[in-house]
Structure 1
C-alpha cells in the first residue's frame, strides 16, 4: 500500500486526496438551544459524511444502520 493513501480503520474505506491545510468537513455546528434534526448528517460508526441523511437507512460506505 502507498503511504500517502489513508484508509478507515473500521470499514477500510479509502479517503480521497485533498489539498489545503484543513480537512473538508461538512458537519454542522449547532448552537445551544437550537433544534436538532432527527438524523445526523454523518455515520456514527465510520464518520462518513452523508449527503441525504433524511432518506438513508444504512451508511453507503460501511453499511451500518443509521439511527
Structure 2
C-alpha cells in the first residue's frame, strides 16, 4: 500500500467529517472546506491506487 493511498483516505475521511459538522452547525464555509478536503483526499488516494497498479504491472 502506497503512502498516498493512506493519506488520501485519511484526508477523505477528515473532509467528510468537516463537511458534516459544517452542515450541522450551519457553517457554509466549513462545509465547503470539508468538500474540498474530501475531494483532494479522493484524488490523492486515486493517485496512490494508480501508482500501485503501475508498480504491479511493471513487476509482471
TM-score category by the smaller chain? under 0.3
Q: What is the TM-score normalised by the length of structure 1?
A: 0.25
Higher relative contact order (CA 8 A, sep 6+): 2
